[in-house]
Structure 1
Amino acid sequence: MGAQASGLGWPDELVELFAARFRVIRYDHRDTGRSTWTFDEQPYPLTALAEDAVRVLDALGVERAHLVGMSLGGMLVQLIVADRPERVLGATLIGTGALSSVPYEHPDGARTPAEELPGVSPGLLEMWARPVEDRGPEAELERRVEHWRVLGGDRIPFDAAYAREQERRIIAHTGHHHAGTAHARADASGMDRTEALARNRVPTLVVSAPAEPVYPPPHAHHIAQAVHGARLVAIPGMGHALPREVHAPLAAAILDHAGRS
């Protein structure tokens, strides 16, 4: 899952669709959920989170796996595909950016440097700029619900009750309501994998979300160009979230991809 997101960020209903055919592993990154929250005492680079994912596979005795990553998780999957391809049966990248400096080539042949691709929506930037104050668990719950409203985009009607239920479960799972900032503060250097992704041999699916406010659609197309052999699929109405409406089409696309890998 993405930055500061517990493994429960993958909704049970979606996981059950995968579990009908595969063993599903979801876990808490460092400084999320029930994992250790020790960044201030033991800071780490973001690349360490990719190493953690491989260690989870080791601990569970899994030699190779289909990896699905969203947002920061999509970047971690790219790191593993580039650095440890022997551990990956197939990869799915959702709502993320390419760890590649190759320019994005438009249908008309024009090129845009990777760093000039469309950025985060103004509304989301404004929200992120507000200081997060600890005003108690219920206020934090409502802050998260509003965050998901903006992340979900403007195509699928927002179900506040569903988002609230999901976040209430995550807070209970974590054991506290405090908002984490470790992943935003972690060292993000050393992430570029341009050459390795251009040589990629891992079957890779890239999910394009038309209402994506964090990584607008050109990013998905850019990844599909930067990662050798990648396929692109669009999920109608999807933003940077996993509402009920996207579960069936998203699961169908990923299961089809896994079946080919």
Structure 2
Amino acid sequence: MERFIEVEPGVRLWAEESGKPDGEPLLLVMGANAAGLAWPDPLVAALGREHRVIRYDHRDTGRSSRVFHDQPYPITRLASDAIAVLDGLGLARAHVAGMSLGGTLVQLLVLDHPDRLLTATLWSTAALGAWSPTDGESRALPGPDPALLELWQHMADPRDREAELDWRVAHWRLLRGDGPFDADESRRLEERIIEHSGGHENPAAHALADPSGLDRGPELAKVRTPTLVIDARKDPVNPPPHAEHLASVISGARLVVVPELGHALGSDVVPALTEEILRHTRR
């Protein structure tokens, strides 16, 4: 079931519920500049056998309001939006799972809204404050693949639809790291997202948003929400040992490895990812 949720005056987010209607809610929080449809249907369906699954479009993605260029907002506002989605659906608490920037947002949720979370699952992300220039240990962590840094410089360049599709497929190829990559699968996904969004333009809003308020790594030691960190061994954005570092700074976090997981979700990693998420939410 699809619906729109007004999170503040003039800003509404597209959301979709599926799966087991009476199952415990599971909110999926996607990464930067990515629509909710970037969550693969097979993953959503597999999780839905046990959960009421919610995926949604961040503001400035998919069918949600495009507001950044007129009303700039900080990254932290996206975490508030996640709670607004729960409010809009009348959900007091939910399991939450996030990857990439979504993992950053889930860390903010376990700090600021622990009463709303049943469990938290994170992967392909860095600990809050991991890039702080005052933290010597974090400074030693490896950065993204230089090829990605170069590609990101052209994220918002104007392109026609076919050129944009080519750029997105090339982006997914790099995000898979040295794991297996299905270009046709990625292209079909992006064609769906473009149709869902009503256009192919990428405003790159989240890349431009103010990142202040994310340097809160020391607070993670006080987390009490049951947290799973999945080590995506082929992640070229937050490569090892980022996951180990993240699990070490979150109080009580459990670390598991999905060897073929990168910074993108192909059908080949869905079974292992599903198994780890469900094993955690059952606990």
**What corresponds to 1:257 in structure 2?**
280
**What corresponds to 1:55 in structure 2?**
84
Letter of the 1:139 partner, please give it: A
Alignment of 1:32 onto 2:56:
no
Q: What's the CA shift for 1:102?
A: 11
Give me the whole-angstrom Cα distance separating, in 2, the residues matched to 1:238 and 1:39.
31
Letter of the 2:252 partner, please give it: G
Give me the whole-angstrom Cα distance separating, in 2, the residues matched to 1:16 and 1:135.
33
**What corresponds to 1:238 in structure 2?**
261
Alignment of 1:183 onto 2:183:
no
CA contact (8 A) 1:82 1:193 kept: no
Equivalent of 2:190, from 150, 156, 167?
Answer: 167
CA contact (8 A) 1:102 1:226 kept: no
Greater relative CO (CA pairs within 8 A, separation 6+): 1
| 1:131/1:54 CA distance change after superposition, 3 Å | closer
CA contact (8 A) 1:102 1:194 kept: no
| 1:101/1:12 CA distance change after superposition, 3 Å | closer
Give me the whole-angstrom Cα distance separating, in 2, the residues matched to 1:102 and 1:126.
19
Q: What's the CA shift for 1:230?
A: 0.4
| 1:132/1:187 CA distance change after superposition, 3 Å | closer
Give me the whole-angstrom Cα distance separating, in 2, the residues matched to 1:162 and 1:195.
40
Structure 2 runs not aligned, ≥5 long: 1-29
Letter of the 1:6 partner, please give it: A
Give me the whole-angstrom Cα distance separating, in 2, the residues matched to 1:235 and 1:132.
32
**What corresponds to 1:42 in structure 2?**
71
Letter of the 1:152 partner, please give it: R
1:106-117 equivalence runs, <5 A: 113-117=137-141
Q: Secondary structure at the match of 2:127?
A: coil
Give me the whole-angstrom Cα distance separating, in 1, the residues matched to 2:250 and 2:80.
20
Give me the whole-angstrom Cα distance separating, in 1, the residues matched to 2:137 and 2:175.
25
Q: What's the CA shift for 1:214?
A: 0.2
Letter of the 2:158 partner, please give it: D
1:34-113 equivalence runs, <5 A: 34-100=63-129, 113=137
Q: What's the CA shift for 1:192?
A: 2.3
Q: Secondary structure at the match of 2:188?
A: helix
Q: 1:153-195 CA deviation, whole Å, 9 max, x = no partner?
A: 1122x11110000000000000000012111111101112234
Give me the whole-angstrom Cα distance separating, in 2, the residues matched to 1:93 and 1:67.
9
**What corresponds to 1:138 in structure 2?**
162
Q: Secondary structure at the match of 1:26?
A: strand
| 1:175/1:253 CA distance change after superposition, 3 Å | same
| 1:211/1:76 CA distance change after superposition, 3 Å | same
Q: Aligned pairs, how many?
A: 252
Q: 1:204-259 CA deviation, whole Å, 9 max, x = no partner?
A: 00011111100002110010001000011111211100001100000000000000
Q: Which runs of 4+ in 1 moved over 4 A?
A: 100-103
Q: Secondary structure at the match of 1:189?
A: coil
| 1:58/1:177 CA distance change after superposition, 3 Å | same
More strand by share: 2
Give me the whole-angstrom Cα distance separating, in 2, the residues matched to 1:96 and 1:211.
12
Q: What's the CA shift for 1:135?
A: 2.7
TM-score (norm 2): 0.86
TM-score (norm 1): 0.93
Q: What's the CA shift for 1:132?
A: 4.3
**What corresponds to 1:107 in structure 2?**
none
**What corresponds to 1:11 in structure 2?**
40
Structure 1 runs not aligned, ≥5 long: 104-110
Letter of the 1:15 partner, please give it: V
Q: 1:13-66 CA deviation, whole Å, 9 max, x = no partner?
A: 110010000000000001000111110111111101000000100010111111
Give me the whole-angstrom Cα distance separating, in 1, the residues matched to 2:42 and 2:246.
28
